[in-house]
Structure 1
Amino acid sequence: MNTAGRRDVTTHTGLELVPFRGLRYDPDRVGSLAAVTSPPYDVVVRPDGLLHLESADPHNIVRLILPQADTPAARNKQAADTLHRWLAEGVLTTDAEPGLYVYEQRGSGLLQRGIIGALRVSGPSEGVVLPHEDVMPHVVADRAALMRATSANLEPLLLTYRGNGAEAGATAVIERTAERPPLLCTTTEDGFSHRLWTVTDTADLAEIQADLSRHQALIADGHHRWATYVRLRAEHSSPSPWDYGLVLLVDTARYPLRVRAIHRLLHRLPVSEALPALTGLFRVRRLCVPLEQALAALADAACAGNAFLLAGDGAFHLVDRPSPDLLARTVPGDRPEAWRTLDATVLHATLLEHVWRIPEDSPEHIAYIHDTAATVEKAERDGGTAVLMHPVREDVVRELARQGVTMPRKSTSFGPKPASGLVLRALTS
């Protein structure tokens, strides 16, 4: 098991967010702005979601973030060729002057606003941007190859910081800007509306930058893309555009994010084999109820300790009350208690590695899926096992990150996530 441990975190010097000339779709050259957007690359459920997005519009951003070809090299070349063609045809155009971008998402009773910009890339030891999850090397290599080929940041990752929630500094600029007519406004099929403004006034930019320079950020979504930024920065002599990466920064003191779980799909382990292996190690109860009720039972069980919900055979199986002796043998003892008791820790250290003996680094054996119903449907269709997780509280995530302790990979899903395709950043020297 590749569990990330404690890292040294030095005193942070603050966030450095700089303006850039955004690449944006020309609304006159596409069917609609909603039709060319996509969730982040790792949220798209393939192949169903991918095909749906590709058919929504021939210029959907998914053709850049998830190009389809027979080999990795061919996929990356295809993305680069597509990007260059869209630029040449005017499908994507470059904004006239550099700016930061105020971004708003609204829907399902939620309002979120933040700032999109180019953030100076820093490593974990600098303590400016704090990861809270481990990453998979093959995914970082894949994203790095795509960024090299396209010379672009194709979608912003999501970072959070803790301001004071008052209308001062960056927040004041955001709120003032949101009173103006936006650059774009669209509503995606999930019902969320998206609005984007540009901030180019030198006084406003200075106010934002001075405020952010006093803060550090937590990676809420995009650990692999941030690790990619760090890798690519190291490959290029500084100063260069690769010193910066495209991010959305949200003050969660004012706009709290939702934290959801990321589920696991075990391709080669049917439920008929997964359950017997748990005999004597966990309590297992069969639930013949709809998904919503099964998730409620999972939430109740999670209040008392580690709990999981298995699916794939037409029913749900609540797995909880792990053997203390089993946990003592399998969970590393040199981590904080908050880490050792995480469901994701027990899943990876105990269930995957020691009970089911499933390699967590192999896409052939395991997939990480955000959508709960899609995870269950795929397990039932393919004969695998869905492992449904209960979400971790944000305060636990942030405190572990501050201690320099990373969680097992794909432990959390913060949202709402920024839509991909609203603004891109070219990396041209």
Structure 2
Amino acid sequence: MNDAGAGRPQPDEQTAGGLDLAPFQGVRYAPERIGDLAAVTSPPYDVVVRPDGLHQLESADPHNIVRLILPQAVSPSARTERAADTLGRWLTDGVLVADPAPGLYVYEQQQGGHLQRGVIGALRLSESAEGIVLPHEDVMAPVVADRAALMRATRANLDPLLLTYRGDAGGGGTAAVIDRAAGREPLLTTTTEDGVCHRLWAVTAAEEIAEVRADLARRQALIADGHHRWATYLRLRAAHRSPSPWDRGLVLLVDTVHYPLRVRAIHRLLHRLPTARALAALEGRFRVRTVSGPLDGAVAALGAAASEGNAFLLAGDGAFHLIDRPDPELLMATVPQDRPAAWRTLDATVLHSTLIDRVWGVPDHPERISYIHDAPATIAKAERDGSTAVLLHPVREEVVRDLARQGVMMPRKSTSFGPKPATGLVLRSLGR
């Protein structure tokens, strides 16, 4: 299978200055081989709430993409082998097929009044990209190793990272190409269970591809979602002699001047820490108040408190507990002082440096801390397990971008930008 623009040098190869996005030969589900496109898609792998969400997706359709991004087996090596075997079988059987020509892909998501459009392509990962693609969160080495093993086994980018950039307010360039594409007949249209309508168009005309590439060559991007996959891309690129398909990685680029993303918090579930014990440890260190439900009302109270300083919402015992106004001396003693003030005052910084590490003494290990995007799911799991749910207020995008430009990493899982691209609409093969 060809993978145009993925690894071999292109005639118009860009080498410096900004983002270098190239066309590729997308691999997509054959409509005649599946009953419902929505039934074979999935959220990104780290958003799937296991095991409930995993089982639901697996049972939705025997060809659901979750069988590739979260393969199930008795050992890590068996999982990656199963994913590679499954992908190979689906390609052989014609469940997944390559588009006839390489291109960029315009991708649209719409839910209610929120519309988001961006362009999917193969982004160059050369070392000159440092300072062009800005991460803002640290990563966990075991997760990177797991994703690297999966990509190496499948020789595929199974889902695009979500990157944001700031385009020109007046439009033109990439924005103009996106608008023109959106006026044409889409390759696919589907509405997923969460009510989001997804549409995809191929951009294959040489002049339109050149227009996008020239525009993006002046831009830098912020990683909105996919830090672990970005680190995986870089690891695999370094492990292969260039030029190779590993020189590029699959990304979705969204211009937030024209299509602002939603920014949500990622919540924490602290296993084996009963809520009563968590609250008792806060005495004299934070102000603690019980606030009335339902959840929307409690979250509104959290937002009001967070506008004045660090604040968190604890749950797990059937009630909501708002904690705020930390002891300044406690913060001085626990939060590293060698970082910018914007980093020191982040809720995620105070949560991990002060509360999790020092006040509660919870080890930062997957067996003790889970990171969950959905607040109701976090609370339900805490109440079921006798644990503590910690809900956070989201960080503004401009704070994230400013810290990233300074090269300052936020605590991992500090933000959730969205809507996230659905996994399974278009894949990038690196050759088999």
The TM-score, its normalising length taken from structure 2, stands at: 0.95
Worse-superposed segment, 280-289 or 309-318? 280-289
After TM superposition, give the deviation of residue 106 of structure 1 in Å.
0.8
Instruction: Summarize deviations over 1:214-264 as a string: whole Å, max 9, x none.
Output: 000000000110011011111111111001000000000000000000000
Q: 1:249 and 2:253 equivalent?
A: yes
TM-score by length of 1: 0.96
Q: How do 1:17-416 residues align onto structure 2 when only pairs under 5 Å count?
A: 17-122=21-126, 126-360=130-364, 362-416=365-419
> 1:165, CA displacement in angstroms?
3.1
Give the Cα separation in 2 of the matches to 1:333 and 1:76. 42
1: CA distance between counterparts of 2:170 and 2:94? 41
Given that 2:310 and 2:350 are in contact with CA atoms closer than 8 Å, whether structure 1 keeps it comes out as yes
Contact 1:166 1:254 survives alignment (8 Å): no
How far the C-alpha of 1:59 sits from its partner, in A, is 0.4
Cα drift, residue 404 of structure 1: 1.0
Query: Aligned equivalents of 2:305 and 2:268: distance in 1?
Result: 19
Work out the CA distance in 2 between the residues paired with 1:319 and 1:56: 40
Indicate conservation of the 8 Å contact 1:123/1:129, yes or no: no
Q: Distance in 1 between matches of 2:408 and 2:313?
A: 26
Separation in 2, partners of 1:170, 1:417: 20
Q: Summarize deviations over 1:59-86 as a string: whole Å, max 9, x none.
A: 0001100111111111111111100010
Shift of residue 270, structure 1, vs aligned partner: 1.1
Question: Contact 2:19–2:129 (CA<8 Å) still a contact in 1?
Answer: no
Deviation of 1:288 (Å): 3.6
- Opposite residue 176 of structure 1, the aligned amino acid is R
Structure 1 residues 340-392: Cα deviation after superposition (integer angstroms, max 9, x where no partner) = 000000001111111111122x1100000000100000110111110000000
CA distance in 2, matches of 1:359, 1:247: 33
The 3-state SS of whatever aligns with 2:123 is strand
Q: Distance in 2 between matches of 1:353 and 1:206?
A: 50
Match of 2:4 in 1: none
Shift of 1:31: 1.5
Partner secondary structure for residue 275 of structure 1 = helix
Give a deviation string over 1:181-212, Cα, whole Å, max 9, x none. Answer: 01111111111111101111110010000000
Unaligned runs of 5+ in 1: 1-11
**Conserved in 2, the CA contact under 8 Å of 1:37 and 1:419?**
yes
How far, CA to CA, are the matches of 2:400 and 2:127 in structure 1? Answer: 19
CA shift at 1:287, angstroms?
Answer: 2.2
User: Which residue matches 2:427?
Assistant: 424
* Matches of 1:112 and 1:356, distance apart in 2: 40
- One-letter amino acid matched to 1:392: V
Give the percent of matched residue pairs that are identical in Structure 1 and Structure 2.
Answer: 72
Secondary structure, counterpart of 2:422 in structure 1: coil
Task: After superposing the two structures, state which structure 1 stretch, 78-87 or 161-170, moved more.
Answer: 161-170
Shift of 1:125: 7.6
Give 1:328's aligned amino acid: M
3-state secondary structure, aligned to 2:281: helix
Q: Which amino acid aligns with 1:185?
A: T
CA distance in 2, matches of 1:255, 1:289: 33
Aligned counterparts of 1:130 and 1:316: Cα–Cα separation in 2: 36
C-alpha separation in 1, matches of 2:411 and 2:230:
16
Partner of 1:6: none
SS at match of 1:87: helix
Distance (whole Å) between structure 2 residues aligned to residue 358 and residue 189 of structure 1: 35
Which of 15, 18, 33 aligns to 2:19? It is: 15
Counterpart-to-counterpart distance in 2, 1:108 and 1:317: 32
Farther-moved stretch of structure 1 (282-291 vs 17-26): 282-291
Cα distance in 1 for partners of 2:345, 2:339 equals 10
Instruction: Check the 8 A contact 2:18/2:129 in 1, yes or no.
Output: no
1:348 is paired with a residue of what secondary structure? helix
Where 2:357 maps in the other structure, the secondary structure is helix
Residue identity matched to 2:320: F
Contact 1:25 1:93 survives alignment (8 Å): yes
- Aligned to 1:278, what secondary structure does the other structure show? coil
Amino acid at match of 1:169: G
SS class of match (1:43): coil
Aligned residues: 417
- Code of the residue aligned with 2:122 in structure 1: it is A
Residues 124 and 131, structure 1, Cα contact 8 Å, conserved in 2: no
For the structure 1 residues 124 and 72, does the alpha-carbon distance in structure 2 shift closer, same or farther, using more than 3 Å as the test? farther
